[in-house]
Structure 1
Amino acid sequence: METRTKEILVRWATYFGRTVWVVLNNLYVIPAHIIILTLFSPLVYFLPQLYYLLEETMFTWMLSMVSCWIWSAGYTILESGDSLDQSLRERILFMPNHQSTADVPFLMTLFTPRFGMGGRVMWLMDKVFKYTNFGACSWIHDDFFIQAGKQTRDRSLVELREHLTRVFQTKQRDCLVLFPEGGFLRKRKAVSQSFAKKNDLPLFEHVTVPRTGALKVIMDVLGPSGTSPTSTHIKKVVDVTIAYPEGKPLDLVSIITGWRPPCTSHVHYRVFDVEELPMDPDEMFKWMVQLYQDKEKMLEEFYRTGEFPYTMFNPGAEAPKPIQHIPLRYALLNSIFIFATLSLILITYSLVTSLKNSIY
């Protein structure tokens, strides 16, 4: 009994310790990120490309912090399917399924080991995220925040069209992340199934019926016949299937605390030339529904057997490979942010002290 008690105490101490560490990590990373970029913001008017490079580099470093949380908690991610690295040689639209608050940290972890990629990604996310601590960094990065709800949907699509032209094109972004389902599985499942029944569509259990409004706008601006310059057109569409063990998604709380035992999740890629995507709205919707039928089939097989069916759509596919983490890089980046934060505190203290002395 005494041994059991000690194990419980150690486990809860670990949860608490990790939580404190993640909170501190946020405190010495995010303020430093915001302050440094604010101080260098005048470069936008004189040397914009240099400022964009600085911002993209620091944004990539920040994503590495999130990746470090996942790695240190023992959560392994295996990649399979078509080559993502091959696709990254061209501009891509990245379309993952959406199950929980762990999806975004997982995607950040996918981009982290790919040099320079994380900072050149534009995220489309719910507007609520803008008011979080990390949301401030995303706002500086010029990600797009979508206002949820039917009443604001049309306006959001108009704003998205303008944002793609103003930011994705101007800043030469390489990747656009879109969650076609528009929300978490657990929140949208009932509405999705009701919609499917009314419109004679497949009933999904592990995904929801995808929305195509934002996708249509993206194709109108960045597609083969889009209004933006040809140099900024998207060339590949990457369908991404995130599969958690036993169909039980991780979440941000488990990533922060590490309360859930170490486990292995899968991320599967299917790459399509953008020309394969129909431009007619009705045909585009049918294409997406078929894509999600395939996704549903893959997830159902995984949850039923416990074996991820990575050869389902390509019998010759290579076995899943783990995302590579570099602990030394994590240690170095943490050291840089800690040094930057301490330096800013020291400079601020010196300035305040000097100001007080000059007054009195």
Structure 2
Amino acid sequence: MAQREPTASAAPQREAGGRAGRRRAAPALLTAGLLAALLVLVLLSAGIGAYGIPLGDIIGSVRHRAGLGGAELDRVAESVLWNVRLPRVVLAVLIGASLGCAGALMQGVFGNPLAEPAVIGISSGAAVGAASSITLGLTFFGNWTVTACAFVTGLATVLLVYAMSRSGGRTEVVTLILTGIAVNAFAMALIGLCVFFADSAQLTQITFWQLGSLAQATWPKVLAVLPCAAAGLLAAPLYARKLDLLSLGERPARHLGVDVERLRVALVVVVALLTAAAVAVAGIISFVGLLVPHLLRMAAGPGHRFLVPGSALGGAVVLVAADLAARTIAQPAELPLGVLTALVGSPFFFWLLRRTRRRQGGWA
């Protein structure tokens, strides 16, 4: 019996099937690659610095602390590793994961790839609290006063933006964004007043906080971020399916059973928890929540089942790498972390913008 010749459309179909197969495999490969990169960066960051610690010593010390054998290091190396390096590394992982995940959620909620947590005023609100507490000389929480004020004002700003943008029991995306822009402008004016009235020492402290840094990382600060970060990171993937439905449009999402208003409220709260805790401890660190979801969306598609947890993992990788670079590029000086992420992120985001416009004719 003669074999049937393949039709003209068979080759394109096979090519499309191959692309679909690669797209389905991409999340697993990316997850494995990000986990491997994070592990390598954590070990490098723990060992590299003014006081170098060999990789074998790091692993041996961790095993010793965990009761799995190994050996304790000498007093100086043990102190540097456990009191300086590891708190900083763990804090970078938590903050990077929080910012990356928050960026993915914001872009999903607004349906806008330019959205990030700063849009709804979290960062500027937290900066107002920090600057005010420094200028007024508040000390009611001791060394935690600046952090506590930044966290409270960051959350309060989000609630204010959301309350001001509601009308008739609904919240429109455009109104929410415009309200956030107005509140951001007002917050910057308040920060300007704080700077005007601050003395030279207070001005230096405000500037250092606004530039973003993990130089003051300690285990208590890790514990301060951990509850909010854990709650937000555990809750975020639960909304992945609804975000996929929301990406079809508000009306189709409602027809498919999604309570869009309740979803927005829940995700704004999750984003506020993730971002306010991160900003309160580390200052303003930009572009992590904007770029990481973009890159993963380009590599694995727009599905939020991977994008939300993947952005958390990618954010952790980016921030650990950025912090390692910030404290080693200009040794013995240390670059501000927020400045470094902005210096690298701005041209990279411009490249993404040009690439998308060239390939798709715009962001839509």
User: Structure 1 length as normaliser, TM-score?
Assistant: 0.28
Q: Return the structure number with greater strand share.
A: 1
Answer 1 or 2: which has greater helix percent.
2
